[in-house]
Structure formats: structure tokens, C-alpha cells
Structure 1
Amino acid sequence: MAKNEQKEKLNEILRIGDQCQEKFLPISSSKLEFIKSHGICFAGTSILKGDYEIRRKTNNAHLIHYTLSGTGWLEINGKQRTLSPGDIWISPDGTQQHYGLKGPKWQVVWFDLKDQGPWAILKNIGTCVRKSVMGARFKQLLEMLIWEFQDNRLHSENVIQHGSELLLAYLEREFKVEYDSKNFDVVNKLHKLFYEKVKSRLRYSWTVDSLADESEMFISADYFSKLCLKHMSMSPMKIVTRLRMESARDLLHSTYYSINKISELVGYTNYFAFSTAFKKRYGLSPRAFRYKYSI
């Protein structure tokens, strides 16, 4: 059945060309009852190419739309704006929508949320676009959940339940930020700093001063530390240590690198300091952890 459809009724348009690729979370499955009961009525990932344009009077749900790569366009009050990587577009239930592909490719993740529970507040904010670091995480979660439905895999129901709970927690976290408009920019910058910049450069000798400089918030190291404690419940260096330990744990579990090499990769020049920090977090030395949990 061809995807290409056009609907011209009550000024509505639905054009989805044959080059577009979409994956949908099978919400109708009984395994996703937890998600449905919490108001998530539709979700998926899309790689849009060629012909793509949507215009409708309402989506009959709150639409949450993340741009991962490429660009799209959105019409708001007769004016067109570009949706770029890192953008989240929020379109409350009852809001007219007109959007489409801009450029050769547009990769997105989206959710339809019922007007209930924590999502009811979205009706009060109107259509808006802002930055978010959550899009890539939602893509990974949705693809993992969709993959679990391919066949009856071992422990698939447990994985689906845990994945569903994580999906809901991330959505609620996203809109807790939305409710507090004074803080969302700070939170996003902190997440980008630690989960993108620091995580990709764990070997760097991070200090509170260098983290504050890298945050692009143009604030003192002392004030940066206070923001970390307020919004992430940890001091800056404790966050860095946690990221280093999590990376070391993954490397011990899934690679054959020497423990000395792993300690260097995650930013330790002293093996004993690394071993002490690892044991403090996981209750085992790196060597004992590898022996117990390695592949």
C-alpha cells in the first residue's frame, strides 16, 4: 500500500511521500498498558524525505515533536519558522497545525499525549518552540521498545515495562522544566555540558572553573556549583566522577582493555585513585567487577 496520500477536506492536508520512513510504537499491545494508562496515545520516529506536508485543524491530542537532524518548517500565525536539530515543538490539543519538510531530510521523534494528568497543563502554554536535549534519548528508548516487539525475546515483558517507566519519567522531566520557564534554559545547558561535552571528553582534566567556562553561561565557578546542586542535586565534580565511573563500568563489562588503559580513558592518571573511586561507587574493585560481570 503506497504511503502517498492527499486529503483536501476542511483545508486539511496529509502528504507523506514514498521515501518517508516511519516506525510506530504498537500502543494497542497489552504490553504497553502502562503507557496508555498514563496518557501516551501515539508515538514514533520518522525519517522524512521527498514529499511531506501536514495541515490539520487539530491533532485531538497534545503533539510533542523533536527534531533530531535535518530541518522542517512550521507555520505559526501565518509566519513560517524553521525547526532545527535540538528543537522541541509543543502543539497543545485543539491547536491548528501546518508543518512540513525543509531540505533533503528531516529526522524526528514525536508523541501524542491525551489531555489528562500531567499533560493537561500543556493546554495553557500554547504553541511554542524551544531547545531540548531529550530528543536523542527518546529516539533510543522508542527504538528499543519497538525492537522488543519483533519476537518473543527472553525477558521482553520486563524490558518493555522498565522502558515504558523510563519513557514516562523522561517526559514528565521534560515538562517539569517547561512549567518553570526561568530554569529550563539553565537545565538544558547543564545537561548539554555534562552529557554531551564532558561525557565525550572524560580524559580531560576537568575542574569546576573549566566546567563553568565550558557551560557557556558566563558565570563564576561558585555560582555554577550552586546551579549544579540546585538542578542536578550534585556538585560539578561529583557529576564528572559519576560519568567517569559509568563509562569505566561499561568498558570493563564490554571490552578487553586493560584496567590501566580504562583508567586512562576515563581521566585517571593514577590507577589507585581510579580503583578507590570505582570501589566506592560499585562496592567492588575494577578487577573484581570484571571477573563477576564481564561478557
Structure 2
Amino acid sequence: MYEGMREDHHEWLDIHFLTPTEFEKAGAAWPIRVGTNIAKPHYRIGPRISPYYYLIFVLEGEGEFRQSGGAYSLAAGDLFCLFPQVTHEYWTNPQRPLRKLFFAFEGKGALALLARAGLTPQRPHASGGATPEAAELTGELRRLAAESGGGSDLLRLSLFLRVFDALSTKSPSYRASAGQDSWLQKGRAYLDIHYAEDIAIESVSAAVGVERSHFTKTFRQAYGMPPMQYLLQLRMNEARLLLEQTDYTVAEIARSVGYPDLFTFSKAFKKHTGESPKAYRHRAAASAAAGQGSAEEQHSTANTARL
């Protein structure tokens, strides 16, 4: 059990430090160290603060953890987090020494990731929260970190994020908070992605697992318009850009924004904008030409003034 571990005065420790790449630091969060330890009977940490977030899995033993005014008993299967710049302390039961797996990380998305695992600064401990899958993935991250160079940044990030995915699927608090907001956001994202296809609101509500009328009512309350109007707005915004910036035919544009034929598109476009697609394109072209002419005139005037 102690193979490869360094003996300290109060623990056996195996820890590996990671140097994040610029790619990793451009993301929501990234790991910076990962390790495991086995406590000796007199093991005690703190009171002290950490500059990073530390996510800790209790694999064996018992102990106690204190942070932010709260006191929590530790047991095998528990999950707890040391939040940065917050005083914490924890220690082992001498008769049942703690064995832990942990990683430190940072990034602007750290709090959001921890919330998915059911952990917040006010609730830094989750009894039974250290799922076997998440612990196994953290072990893989530790083995990767032990390699020369710590493996590739993509593989590190993949394992790191998979840990939180494994934790969030088991977190009752995250599932409760996900609820309505989750399916509603997924519904809007579905529209944002697939608006140029021949979709109906029924297919959107089915994709997020709610009844159509409930989806429509909740969407209107959240975003100020029914989903059909939102879909129309997405299509018309794209159609205007294509009319202004490309030489596609109107029929090609119609198909590009999810309409089966020219007539249906032209009718919807005129109702939405007050003019036909062709009239809109002519007016936009004339306006652009006038703007270009005005810019050239101003440039010429400026040059004359300098002379």
C-alpha cells in the first residue's frame, strides 16, 4: 500500500505537480496537482488556508473536517472541498486512519464545477459523495500526472472534467437545481443550433422531455416570447445577413434558414420585416453603397484639408 509513497512525520504521501498549458488556462478550470495519502494516527492539518481548491475523496478511515464555521464527520465514501482563502482544519481518528485521494485545481469555472458535485462554500462536505467512478477517474489522473510531462493537456482536461461529470450525476442537490432550468436551457440551445432545419416545436419539446404546451408556456415566461417566435427571429436574422452579405438566390436562402420553398419563406419574411426579400436586398445594397460613397467623400475632404 505504501509503495512509491514518501513518508512524512504524520503521513505517507504521493503527490504530483502539473504545469497547465495556455490552452488549459483558457478553459473554465484545470488541475494543478493530484495525489493520495495515508494518515498516521496523529495526522492533523491546520488551521490554515489554501491558495487553491482542493477536492478530497475519503477512501478509508474516519476523521473530522471543519471549515466556514461547520464541522463534519468524515467516513469512507465522503467528499469534501477546501476552498481557497478560507480557514480549514481536519484530522484523523487514530484508531481508523484516513486514506484519501485528492486534486487541487483553479479557474474561473471552479465554483460552477463544484456546485455540480453538490459542494459550495456554505456546504463543503457531501456524505457519500465520492462515487467509485469519480474516484477511479481521479486515480487515472494521478497515474497520468506521474508520467514524464504529465501527459497531454487534452487528456488531463478530459479526465478532470469526467470526474465532475461522474460526481454531478450522483448529486441530489445538483439534480434538483438542474430541473427546469436545465431542460429549458437545452430547449433554447436546440433552437439555436437547429433553427435552419425543418423542425417544429413538438420536436424541440420531445428532445428535452417535456410536454409541448408546458414547454411553450415556460419558454415564454423565461424569454419573453413563445418558442415559435424565437425560432422565427433566429431564421429572419440569418436570412437578413445572407441577403446583405452573399449573392445566394432567395430560393437558396430560403432553404438555408429552414423553409421548404420560396413562397413560404417570402411570405414569412415580408410579414416579419414589412418588405419582400428582394426589396430588402436592394435597399440594403443601396444603403451600403451610399455609406461607402460617404466614407470616400470624407476621406477625400480630409486629404484636401491636409493639402
TM-score (norm 2): 0.43
Greater helix proportion: 2
TM-score (norm 1): 0.44
Larger Rg: 2
